[in-house]
Amino acid sequence: YHNYDKIALCWSSNKCNKNKFYNRLLGVYPLAAMINHSCSPNAVRVFSSFEGKEVMIVHANVIIPKGTEITWSYLPPSTDFFTRQKLLKDKYSFVCRCARCLKEKDATSSVFYQYWLENWNNREDGQATGEQIEKLEHLMSINCVPNEVQRYLRIGLAKSYMVYFNEVLAPTATMTCDSARNDVRRQVLKLSTQLHFSFLSCNNASTEH
């Protein structure tokens, strides 16, 4: 992980790798630094300018009742459970036990999910194939996984779902049968609607606005 010394050296040496160049100014935000993490946060960071200075604003994602702790995500919430746990442990030295993680931990420990993982050959890159997405949806359905947990699992694979939608829709451009084309589109619309609800369940799955 990069620290301030590495970034300062990069800026001063003009030898930055283009892919790793730091284009955002850094700052010290003592109040914001006190905000704890949640994988389903109720706030996000917003960077803006005020009187010629860059400031960080804490922006609520939802209505936050009085006395409720304000949290934001240290990682993109659209990261799968196993990757989130590893990154938070390696970079921030804690094991996340937020409500989302506890529910995903139970789900990912279940028989149906372990069976699914056994058939996920490329899990290291965090991407699931279209066939694996279909299998996961089938297993969640027949095992009566609660909707909230389904949404948490989907959002962790959001990128894979997007790729899957494109793969399924691509052949419709050359389909001559209107009925078959509409069936495919309805299938994608149904599942993409569920993915939309998944984003909402994690407060738009964002870390910044």
d(CA 22, CA 93): 24
**Mean pLDDT throughout 180-201?**
89
Residues 103 and 148: beta-carbon distance below 8 Å: yes
Task: Pick left, alpha or beta for residue 127 (phi over 0 → left; psi -120 to 50 → alpha; otherwise beta).
Answer: beta
Task: Provide the angle, in degrees to the nearest 10, between the axes of the packed helices 99-108 and 81-92.
Answer: 130
- Digit-coded pLDDT (tens) for 94-122: 999 999 999 999 988 888 788 787 766 55
Global pTM value: 0.76
Residues 119 and 138: beta-carbon distance below 8 Å: no
Q: Check pLDDT > 50 for residue 158.
A: yes
The confidence band for 28, taking pLDDT boundaries of 50, 70 and 90, is confident
The confidence band for 1, taking pLDDT boundaries of 50, 70 and 90, is very low
- Digit-coded pLDDT (tens) for 117-147: 776 655 555 677 888 888 889 889 888 889 9
More confidently predicted of 20 and 44: 44
pLDDT at 33: 87
% of the chain surpassing 90 pLDDT: 30
d(CA 60, CA 35): 13
